[in-house]
Amino acid sequence: MTFPIISHRKIYFMISGALVVASIIALLLWGLKPGIDFTGGTAIEVSFVGERPNVQATHDALGGLNLDTISISPVGDNSFTLRTRPLTSTEHDQVLPALQKTFPGQDPKNPRVTEDQFETVGPIIGSELRRKTIWAIIFAIIGIVLLITWSFRKVSYPVKSWKYGVATIVALLHDVIIPTGAFALMGRLYGYEANALLVVALLTILGFSVHDTIVVFDRTRENLLKHRNLAFAEVVNRSVNETFIRSINTSVTLLIILATTLFFGGETIRDFILTLLIGVFFGTYSSIFIASPLLVAWQEWEQRRKM
């Protein structure tokens, strides 16, 4: 059974357009809440003997230290990571005693709370990470366009090979903007912070999405050579249908793994996994309903323009 995917492309474009616009609005209104990886700050990991207190109680214990915003993330079964602005040595020396005073142990010689790790990321390092992130994405996009242009050089009719690369980049932007906008919303509602893991998640989404899109385009290339008598839209629709089940099965398997990790994994990778979940879902959507239909829309627009 063949589904008329290409003929309904305007519906998919409208859905994606609405989501992209909403994501851009979220980014313009709230932006991403930067973590210490980008702004500079202090991260302190503390562990507790016995039962770990809840996040609010820990936050209240540090409330009198004037440390401004404090982000507290559970780590493992008995630890917390405390993230705040860059602390002076005096301020740092006050953190552990404040926790030990609020959560005393049974034996004064063996305190219940201990500091396992202390790290300060300066703003210079944060600026360097931002710059490297931007360059990493730029080089990845350029490399993708060049690779696809070269790979599809033998099927430059009726669509030139470089247009496959452009369609892939449009799909990639779609797949990155939507999760980033969702992350901006979650930062507004739940205080999610953008850190190095978010960058890793976005680059992973780029890799997954381009892989899925190229599988569809590669089948289109094969069918263009085999079915020269068919219209371009028909060839593309045939190619999408032939790879549809493969794309869905691969993505659903990965989504199940990610969902399981999200619900049963650790708190420290929750934001990372959630971003991947959103990105993989829309990456699969774009490879089927955006990239290939975009090629057909482009080709038909050029035909009308030449008439």
Is residue 101 scored above 70 in pLDDT? yes
Residues 26 and 132 in one domain: yes
Q: Is residue 274 part of a domain?
A: yes
146 in the same domain as 278: yes
Last residue of a domain, one of 63, 91, 121: 121
Q: Are residues 184 and 300 in the same domain?
A: yes
Give the domain range for residue 268.
6-35+125-306
Are residues 142 and 78 both part of a single domain? Answer: no
Q: What is the CATH number of the domain that holds 94?
A: 3.30.70.3400
Q: How sure is the predictor about 14, in pLDDT bands with cuts at 50, 70 and 90? A: very high
Q: Hey, how many other C-beta atoms are within 10 angstroms of the C-beta on 182?
A: 21
Stated pTM of the model = 0.81
Q: What angle do CA 243, 247, 253 make, to 5 degrees?
A: 150
In DSSP terms, 71 is beta-bridged to 83
Q: Is residue 87 domain-shared with residue 236, that is, in the same domain? A: no
**Given this model, what pLDDT does residue 125 score?**
59
Instruction: Give the pLDDT of residue 202.
Output: 87
Name the strand (E) or helix (H) holding 82: strand 79-84
| Same domain (yes/no): 27, 102 | no
Q: Answer yes or no: do 79 and 195 share one domain.
A: no
User: Are residues 67 and 19 located together in one domain of the fold?
Assistant: no
Answer whether residue 267 shows pLDDT above 90. no
With contact defined as beta carbons under 8 Å apart, do 258 and 277 qualify? yes
Domain count, the chain: 2
Same domain, 266 and 144: yes
Choose the final residue of a domain: 121, 136, 164.
121
Q: For residue 77, how many other CB atoms are within 10 A of its CB?
A: 10
Name the 3-class secondary structure at 184: helix
Give the pLDDT band of residue 120 (cuts 50, 70, 90).
confident
pLDDT of residue 21: 97
Q: Does residue 129 carry a pLDDT above 80?
A: no
Mean pLDDT, the chain, rounded, equals: 87
What is the band of 248 on the pLDDT scale with cuts at 50, 70, 90?
A: very high
156 plus 101 within the same structural domain: no
